Amino acid sequence: ERHYPNTKVFQLSCTFRFGHELSLMANSVIRRNSTKLTKLCVSHPSTPKTEVRLHFDNCLSKVLSNLSVSSGTQAILSRTKANLAEAEIVLRLCGLPYRYLNGSSALHTRTEIGILVVGVLLSVYGDLRLLENHPNKQAIVYGFLKEA
């Protein structure tokens, strides 16, 4: 909008991405996020039915490996990106395709990831300058400095 000043923004009254059952689940997650209390997700009647299955387990890798043998698209709903870092690590370790809806990642903003990256660079390579060209350098260093 900044680059195209005459752009018109249209708000959709419903989503065409997924069915009503997933909309209800999304509303439950959104409602717990105090900054988005005014938003409500409603699916258009023409959207295909979306099946929702809840998985409860203390072992995230077990749940995710069970999901990996399922057919179709899987989604993980979370109130904040910070809650998804563990899921992202496990999915990457399992070799499962994973992406955020907006294409970003929460890993680089986590304190423990910053500490781990700085620790590996120092102990294995002995050189923090390797971090200079990393695209997430600022977030990693900030994560490290939050706890240092």
- Taking the C-alpha atoms of residue 108 and residue 91, their distance in angstroms, rounded to an integer, is 16
> Rg of the chain over CA atoms, in angstroms?
19
Residues with Cβ within 8 Å of residue 127, at least 6 apart in sequence: 121
Joined together, the tokens standing for residue 104 give 């970003």
Average pLDDT, rounded, for the chain? 75
pLDDT of residue 136 exceeding 80, the answer is no
pLDDT at 79: 64
Same domain, 6 and 27: yes
pLDDT at 36: 56
Q: Provide the whole-model pTM.
A: 0.48
Select from 100, 60, 102, 85 the least CA-distant residue to 139: 85
pLDDT at 110: 74
Asked if 94 and 64 count as a contact pair (C-beta separation under 8 A), the reply is yes
Same domain, 45 and 67: no
Output the CA torsion sign for 123, 129, 135, 138: positive
pLDDT of residue 142 exceeding 70, the answer is yes
Domain limit, last residue, from 21, 36, 52: 52
Same domain, 46 and 78: no
pLDDT at 62: 73
Same domain, 13 and 42: yes
pLDDT digits (tens, 9 = 90+) for 77-102: 766 666 677 777 777 777 777 777 66
Tell me the residue range of the domain where 136 lies. Answer: 108-147
pLDDT at 46: 92
Same domain, 61 and 25: no
DSSP 2: -
pLDDT digits (tens, 9 = 90+) for 19-50: 888 888 888 777 766 665 566 788 999 998 88
Number of compact structural domains in the chain: 3
